[in-house]
């Protein structure tokens, strides 16, 4: 493969990790999040700053995962008393707070971000790492989906008050969802930072959060296969149709409207419907 194909494979892997993490929060547990890019950024900035300071790559990457997960739990605690629209606004505010913070911190590079991040692997190595991490996240998502925790997540997503009434500690499991989902975003951020060897605040803005959400919804929110499919489709579309790059928000917004109106189950739901009808 050429460098272009290798880079594209790396980006696909990173986006699959992000989509699966958000699907854990919004798809499995029904907690709307519009600030997922902030945790992506926390992982990237943590891993990058540690690597620049001389910390080994693996430890920097793990630190990004842990710190992003901890921030997710903290935000989850703060958001326990809000639901639906109010939760969406709260998580969106977290994204803006993150951007405002990193832009004002000189030790994080301010508006210019962090450059010359050490790269202990070549491009092929990062592609392999991103794909392997995506497969790992896929296996984790499948396991959670089929486990008793997945059943509890579905109960909370369906009716949180009813789940409480049968003795489920909804607060605890919502925090689990936030912790797992945001930790995966931290993993994606660490890989992203080292692959590109430079990060800037704008890479983790509100548009990025909407892009990740679009991947989950277009693919099929709540579906593990849908999250993977949505991440692949929305990563490859701008590459196959270059004009989309100039109208990305317009196209993604239109896709969200069309999917929610005509196929709430996303592309994967449409595929399942076609297969059932053929059978």
Does 244 score more than 70 pLDDT?
no
Q: In whole angstroms, what is the distance from residue 197 CA to residue 186 CA?
A: 16
Q: How far apart are CA 270 and CA 261, in angstroms?
A: 13
User: pLDDT tens, 2-33?
Assistant: 788 899 999 999 999 999 999 999 989 888 88
H-type alpha helices, 197-223: 206-220
Query: How, if at all, do strands 198-199 and 114-115 pair?
Result: antiparallel
What the block records as the tokens of 75 is: 């935000």
Q: Residue 3, Cβ neighbours under 10 Å: how many?
A: 9
Rounded CA separation 25/133 (Å): 19
- The predicted-structure confidence for 159-213, as pLDDT tens digits, reads as follows 888 888 888 888 888 899 999 999 999 999 999 999 998 999 999 998 899 899 9
If one compares 221 and 270, the residue with the highest pLDDT of the two is 221
Query: Phi first, then psi: what are they for 113, rounded to 5°?
Result: 70, -160
Model pTM score:
0.92
pLDDT digits (tens, 9 = 90+) for 83-125: 767 778 888 888 899 999 999 888 888 888 899 999 888 889 9
Comparing 30-34, 42-46, 197-201, 274-278, which segment has the lowest mean pLDDT?
A: 274-278
Nearest to 60 by CA among 111, 136, 114: 114
Of 17, 23, 29, 39, the residue nearest 94 (C-alpha): 39
Provide the pLDDT for residue 47: 95
The answer for residues whose C-beta is within 8 angstroms of residue 147's C-beta and 6 or more apart is none
User: Is pLDDT above 80 for 273?
Assistant: no
The overall longest dimension of the chain from CA atoms, in Å, is: 61
Q: At what angle do helices 266-278 and 224-240 cross, to 10 degrees?
A: 110
> Residue 86: CA atoms inside 13 Å, Cβ hemisphere, count?
6
User: pLDDT of 79-94, one tens digit each?
Assistant: 777 776 777 888 888 8
- Using DSSP's 3-state secondary structure scheme, residue 136 falls into helix
Q: With cut-offs at 50, 70 and 90, classify the pLDDT of residue 52.
A: very high
Among 19-28, 209-218, 224-233, 251-260, the minimum mean pLDDT is found in 251-260
Mean of all residue pLDDT scores within the chain: 88
Contact 75, 181 (CB under 8 A): no
Distance CA 32, CA 231 (A): 18
The alpha carbon of residue 155 and the mean position of all alpha carbons in its chain are separated, in whole angstroms, by 22
Which tokens belong to 67?
């710190």
For range 50-70, the mean pLDDT: 94
């Amino acid at each position: 493969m050429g460098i272009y194909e290798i880079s594209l494979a790396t980006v696909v892997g990173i986006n699959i990790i992000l989509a699966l993490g958000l699907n854990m929060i919004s798809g499995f547990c029904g907690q709307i999040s519009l600030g997922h890019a902030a945790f992506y950024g926390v992982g990237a900035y943590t891993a990058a700053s540690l690597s620049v300071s001389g910390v080994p790559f693996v430890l920097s990457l793990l630190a990004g995962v842990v710190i992003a997960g901890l921030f997710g739990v903290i935000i989850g605690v703060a958001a326990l008393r809000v639901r639906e629209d109010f939760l969406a606004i709260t998580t969106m505010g977290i994204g803006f707070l993150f951007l405002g913070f990193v832009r004002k911190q000189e030790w994080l590079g301010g508006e210019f971000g962090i450059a010359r991040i050490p790269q202990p692997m070549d491009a092929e190595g990062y592609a392999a790492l991103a794909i392997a991490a995506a497969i790992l996240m896929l296996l984790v998502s499948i396991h959670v989906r089929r486990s008793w925790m997945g059943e509890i997540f579905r109960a909370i997503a369906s009716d949180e008050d009813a789940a409480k009434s049968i003795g489920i500690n909804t607060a605890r499991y919502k925090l689990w969802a936030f912790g797992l989902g945001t930790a995966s975003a931290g993993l994606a951020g660490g890989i992203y930072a080292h692959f590109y060897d430079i990060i800037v605040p704008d890479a983790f803005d509100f548009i990025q959060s909407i892009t990740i959400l679009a991947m989950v919804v277009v693919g099929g929110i709540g579906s593990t296969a849908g999250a993977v499919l949505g991440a692949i489709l929305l990563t490859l579309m701008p590459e196959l149709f270059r004009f989309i790059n100039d109208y990305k928000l317009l196209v993604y917004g239109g896709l969200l409207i069309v999917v929610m109106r005509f196929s709430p189950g996303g592309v994967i739901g449409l595929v399942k419907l076609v297969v059932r009808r053929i059978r």
